[in-house]
Amino acid sequence: MRALQALRLSRHFRVRLPQTRRLPWADRLGGVRCCATLFTEQHDELRRSVRKVIDKDINPYVDQWEAEGMYDAHKVFKKLAEVGVLGITRPVEYGGLSLDYSFTVAFAEELSAINCGGIVSGILVHTDMCTPALTNFGSDELKAQFLAPSIAGDIVGCVGVSEPDCGSDVASIKTTAVRKGDDLVINGGKMWITNGCQADWMALLANTRTEGPPHKTKSLICLPLKTPGVTVARSIKKLGNCSSDTAQIFFEDVRVPAKNIVGEEGMGFIYQMLQFQEERLVAAINSVSFMERMINDTLEYCRQRKVYGQPLIKNQVIQYRLAELQTEVEALRSLGYRAAAMLMSGENVTELASMAKLKAGRLSREVADSCLQYWGGMGYTEEMPIARAFRDARLLSIAGGADEVMLSIIAKLRWGLER
């Protein structure tokens, strides 16, 4: 039934796609098409479907989930699965829609309608961070066991890379998966695991070899989190993104079949670096709409708030500052669209995705801080959405690779500079 539904949705979005609209100057950009030229009525249909779920099944519960420190991932994912958006670019045979990345762009932009950042993080981890390598390199058996039910919203996924002493330094992770017969025995621990308190499976990066360069000793493993020896030690309280459960998880003699390795053994580091491309790009794209919402909310507040007998927005300083911020946001949007177009054409977007992620993190902080200032004392209270946005925005310069790591990647790829 789910496969038939996915096929129907796929046809719904694909069959009526008109010929791609090209701008006259597109060919002068080396054939790279801006995503804006790819948006069609079908993208709008997807946006409307996502917005209905947000308005009915997510936003009414956001304040409750923020207070409780955890959203209901199984409920939310099931609702999103009903409109077919948990596997937008994933194969039809596993319940996906087999659409191009421009639909992921539309999806990520629409998620900014959620009234907090935490739930957005949890959704994108599930859709775009724990399944790319499984989709591209995993066996048919692993896809049937983990990818298909993830797309159907039956199970919740997470990514296990960071450790207490190894965040952005992925090469230094200590968790091991030692082969014993036909099994792997896993020992170690992971930190900062989004969805970790309620996830059913993890895309785990662990050392499966003891000798060799760090980038050839690691494997990605599909790990069911109900396996004996897996312990969710704690849910971590955070400054922002409070509705997103973030766990510390330990593994003690956890035994899983060796066939749960995704692709080739020893290639996990490479696969994870490829996953990071999509993770960083989708986060940057989502942040554009997130920042635009902050600006628009602030603009509306300044229109209503009167000081010295006239609306705040009459103050030219505020007008100019919001105009500056919107200009920066539009520049980031263009960078994200360009990277997305390159990704669709099969090009390596590591450098551009890193640039977009870097700019998104820094600009999110700037927009949140500047906008909050114009809300005055009210902006410093939990009654106003800008306070939550201010706290949530800070994460983007840390999660998925800190700003300093993005700078290092850019310097290396652009000029060949080593640390």
Contact 231, 249 (CB under 8 A): yes
Residue 11 CA to residue 92 CA, distance in Å, equals: 10
The string of DSSP codes covering 20-50 is: PP--TTGGGGTTPPPGGGT--HHHHHHHHHH
CB of 400 within 8 A of CB of 276?
Answer: yes
Active site residue 279: yes
Helix (H, G, I), strand (E, B) or coil at 85: coil
Helical axes 385-393 vs 268-304, angle rounded to 10°: 150
* CA dist., res. 138 & res. 338, Å (int): 28
H or E element at residue 254:
strand 246-257
User: Are the C-beta atoms of residues 348 and 382 closer than 8 Å to each other?
Assistant: no
Closest among 120, 262, 137, 144 to 205, alpha carbons compared? 262
Closest C-alpha to 292, from 328, 240, 318: 328
C-alpha–C-alpha distance, residues 298 and 390, integer Å:
12
Task: Tell which residue, 245, 203, 201, 248, has the closest CA to residue 225.
Answer: 201
DSSP letters along 196-213, please?
TTT-SEEEEEEE--SSS-
Among 112, 67, 61, 73, which Cα is nearest to 294's? 112
Residue 174 and residue 190 in contact, taking contact as beta carbons nearer than 8 Å:
no
- Rounded (10°) angle between helices 268-304 and 101-110: 40
**Pick from 408, 406, 411: nearest CA to 396:** 406
Selected catalytic residue, list 279, 328, 382, 418: 279
Q: Which residues are catalytic?
A: 279
